[in-house]
Amino acid sequence: MLGNKNTIHTFCFIFFLALAVWSNACNAQLDNAIFSGRPYTNKESKVSPDINESKQGFGFLQYTKDNEYLQKINPGQTFFGSRIWYQISIKIVAEDADNPNVPTPNALGLGNYPSITEPQKSIAGDMDSITSLKYTPLPQRVSMGIRLGGLVQYEFGGWESKPVFRPIINFYWNKGGRSFIAGNIHSQTQHLLPDLLINYDLALKTPIEYGLQFTRETPHLSSENWIEWRQRMDISSGRQEIISFGNRIEFRVLKANSAKRNMHFKGFALLMHKGGEGFVKQQAIGNRFVWGGGIKITENKNVFFEGLYFFHQDFSAKDIIADSGQKNVSFKTGSAILLNFGIRLAKNQQLVLSSVTANRFSTPLGAPIYQCVNYENPSYYAINRQLFTARYTLAKNLFSEKMRMEFRIEPSYDFYKKWFLFSVGLYFRYLEGNAAL
């Protein structure tokens, strides 16, 4: 069985703690804009209506993150490095630009999605904001352009470390609430998927994704479909192609921002394909699929509850099997439940309490802490996992809104292993101009 007494105890603990601090909630939001280069205020998000103007941006991020999990199934990892990037966005078409009453899309041509002023997906699930994405209707206007630039990242800690360069290049098209991007797309945390599906550590490992992305926004509906080209095939080296396909859809019972209370129905899917043909030595084809959905309830933009159910299916030609000594344990199928409570504590502070219960669960891009098997070494596994996590974030401007500091601490408890785990991170970011990735 997926659920047990620990799940009930954790749920009750989260519920009553949320009620206890409800009255202290205020206007702070937890987000991942620190990684995407998106500003926290609207002051930096304005774009000139001049269609011939080139909008430039520069960004810097210093990151330190220590995952101390100390488990063979999930040994943890430390990140310590710096990142700088520069870009220029050139509009090709921007209708109604002379009308001051018509809002101008951001430099990516994405109109109101994702809103530059809106936070991104949370480390504890879909905490893109307490009330989910805000919707601001746009007229049926067209915006089109290109974006060029580059990103350099350097990981400290070894003489063999080398700077990594990633080009920034894409074509964008926007009409009203519909948007399309080809090239480097809004990546990682900006897909607004729960951490079980996309680990926010990926924003540090691979800050830029390349592929195709289509989004749609209405007062009641938010959707996104994308294809990410993660790795191309190389026959000479035996390197396989890796492609991921993602989908996210959210239906709001009431119009966005129309009420203090709202209910959101969510669905999502993620497929990771690994394959290719023509190798000297045939490589196993891998197809791993994760899907699920759930409900989210928001109250006064201060507190939210979220319950999500996940399923996974491994269609790989070679199944991941852990040898237990006496019998083989397959992780070809599995499931998980995620419960979240989010609470605003004070200005620029937020607490998110999460409970995860998993049975034979595994995802190709999800956070390792929730996996039931170590794919790098399948001999380390757990049929069932039950974790409780408290996630605290403090974000502050330093000297000006251009310089931002963010501190995160995430202690967890593993009920099955009777083990405490924790993660701590400190980030400093500087933005000049329009530097949103």
Confirm if 301 and 131 have CB atoms less than 8 A apart: yes
Rounded-to-integer distance, Cα 80 and Cα 276, Å: 34
Q: Quickly state the pLDDT bin for 337 (edges 50, 70, 90).
A: very high
Backbone angles phi, psi at 241, to 5 degrees: -80, 145
Q: Report which listed range, 3-7, 186-190, 284-288, 398-402, is most confident.
A: 398-402
Rounded-to-integer distance, Cα 208 and Cα 213, Å: 13
pLDDT value at 89 more than 50: yes
Q: Is the dihedral of CA 159, 58, 39, 151 positive or negative?
A: negative
Which two three-digit tokens encode residue 378? 């399948």
In the block, tokens 């007494």 appear at: 5
Question: How does the average pLDDT of the chain come out, rounded?
Answer: 76
pLDDT of residue 92: 85
pLDDT of residue 399: 85
Mean pLDDT of 214-219: 91
Provide the phi-psi class of 128: left if phi over 0, else alpha when psi is between -120 and 50, else beta: alpha
Mean pLDDT of 406-416: 93
Q: What is the CA radius of gyration of the chain?
A: 22
Q: SS3 of 20, please? A: helix
Which two three-digit tokens encode residue 273? 């394909």
Mean pLDDT of 345-349: 81
pLDDT of residue 67: 92
pLDDT of residue 108: 32
The predicted-structure confidence for 295-319, as pLDDT tens digits, reads as follows: 998 877 678 899 999 999 988 755 5
Peptide bond into 411 cis (omega under 30): no
pLDDT of residue 324: 52
Which CATH number characterizes residue 177's domain? 2.40.160.10
pLDDT of residue 266: 94
Q: What percentage of residues in the chain have a pLDDT greater than 90?
A: 33
- Which H or E element spans position 391? strand 384-398
Q: How many CB atoms lie within 10 A of CB 178?
A: 17
Q: Which residues lie below 8 Å from residue 19, measured CB to CB, with a gap of 6+?
A: none
- State which residues form the domain around 166: 5-433
The predicted-structure confidence for 160-209, as pLDDT tens digits, reads as follows: 678 899 999 999 998 888 999 999 998 878 888 888 888 888 888 888 99
In angstroms, how far is CA 139 from the centroid of its own chain?
Answer: 29
pLDDT value at 416 more than 60: yes
Mean pLDDT of 270-285: 72
Mean pLDDT of 289-294: 94
Q: SS3 of 368, please? A: helix
pLDDT of residue 277: 64
Rounded-to-integer distance, Cα 335 and Cα 2, Å: 8
pLDDT of residue 281: 62
In the block, tokens 């049926």 appear at: 140
Q: What is the pTM of this model?
A: 0.78
Domain count of the chain?
1
The predicted-structure confidence for 22-55, as pLDDT tens digits, reads as follows: 433 333 334 577 777 766 543 333 333 333 344 8
Q: Quickly state the pLDDT bin for 91 (edges 50, 70, 90).
A: confident
For 96-111, b/e burial (b = at least 16 CB within 10 A) is bbeeeeebbbbbbbbb
